[in-house]
Amino acid sequence: MRIDVVSIFPEYLDALGLSLIGKARQDGLLELNVRNLRDFTTDRHRTVDDTPYGGGAGMVMKPEPWALALESVLAGAGHSPATAEATETAAEVPEHDGAGRPVLIVPSPAGEVFTQSMAHELAGEEHLVFACGRYEGIDERVMEWAAGSFRVRPVSLGDYVLNGGEVAVLAMVEAIGRLIPGVVGNPESLVEESHSDGLLEYPVYTKPSVWRGRQVPDVLLSGNHARIARFRRDEQLRRTAERRPDLIEALANQLDSADRAAL
């Protein structure tokens, strides 16, 4: 997979050189490029923002540096940027609709909420591009224009506000990157984690079996695999009901009578 990130703070993305994602890049499973939006400005002050039409607080990111940066991403990936004419055609021709065009993810608290299922979907893509906005956001015409060459998706991490898209990109690239085949050494570890079955993870324990007067639950030392599986399932259900009743609601018709007894 190829990922391009455009940001005015490329140093934020340095963390993607570490750990699992850093290793995936070294191993050639992930090609990740970070571009500085200011490199696509043409004025002496490298200006990326201006005041909003209609008034209001804060600043808005100017459209032209974004267009130049995204065109450079397309050129780097061997795609030709859309002309106004090609943009018209793409809107009408179904073949141009789906795969082939890279996905442009625009991190924004006004986006669709990022989930594990979206991470799986995006992990199957060939080329993702992240456009990190700052200030009050990017001039809306950039997203309209970009729809000619990209599948544009505004995406939010949840209902709170960050100062910019960079930290959201760190989270999304990690969530997506670990789902690329070969990135997580033991694929079994992807199966038993939170959200893989719509429930939160069960609690885990390691040695010593008594620590500061606290015992590991007896069943985990019993060697009885059926009882251990039931204990873990019950803990998942109990926790999810307590912390995330919305998830239990969504799964309600998939719970059997043993599951219901745990709640």
Residues that bind ligand 6GU (CB under 6 A): 107-109, 155-158, 160-162, 164-165, 168
Q: Which is nearer to ligand 6GU, 73 or 106 (CB)?
A: 106
160 annotated to a ligand binding site: yes
First to last CA, the chain: 42
Confirm if 89 and 96 have CB atoms less than 8 A apart: yes
Compute the least distance from the CB of residue 175 to ligand 6GU, in Å. Answer: 12
Compute the least distance from the CB of residue 154 to ligand 6GU, in Å. Answer: 8
Residue 11's Cα: distance from chain center in Å?
19
Strand partners, 4: 33, 129
Residues with Cβ within 8 Å of residue 184, at least 6 apart in sequence: 20, 178, 190
Q: Which is nearer to ligand 6GU, 137 or 148 (CB)?
A: 137
157 annotated to a ligand binding site: yes
Compute the least distance from the CB of residue 169 to ligand 6GU, in Å. Answer: 8
Compute the least distance from the CB of residue 45 to ligand 6GU, in Å. Answer: 24
Determine the Cα angle at 154 with ends 149 and 156, to 5°: 155
Burial pattern 77-102, b for ≥16 Cβ within 10 A else e, equals eebebbeeeebeebeeeeeeeeeebb
Q: Which is nearer to ligand 6GU, 138 or 200 (CB)?
A: 138
Q: Rounded to whole angstroms, how far apart are CA atoms 181 and 185?
A: 9
Confirm if 217 and 205 have CB atoms less than 8 A apart: yes
Crossing angle of the two packed helices 19-26 and 166-177, in degrees rounded to 10: 70
The string of DSSP codes covering 119-176 is HHHHHT-SEEEEE---TT-B-HHHHHHHTTTSEEEEEESSSS--SSSHHHHHHHHHHH
161 annotated to a ligand binding site: yes
Q: Which is nearer to ligand 6GU, 52 or 109 (CB)?
A: 109
74 annotated to a ligand binding site: no
Compute the least distance from the CB of residue 115 to ligand 6GU, in Å. Answer: 13
Put residue 158 in one of left, alpha, beta given phi > 0 → left and psi -120 to 50 → alpha: left
Compute the least distance from the CB of residue 99 to ligand 6GU, in Å. Answer: 24
Q: Cα Rg for the chain, rounded, in angstroms?
A: 23
Q: Which is nearer to ligand 6GU, 106 or 199 (CB)?
A: 106
Q: Which is nearer to ligand 6GU, 170 or 228 (CB)?
A: 170
- What are the binding residues for S-adenosyl-L-methionine? 133, 157-162
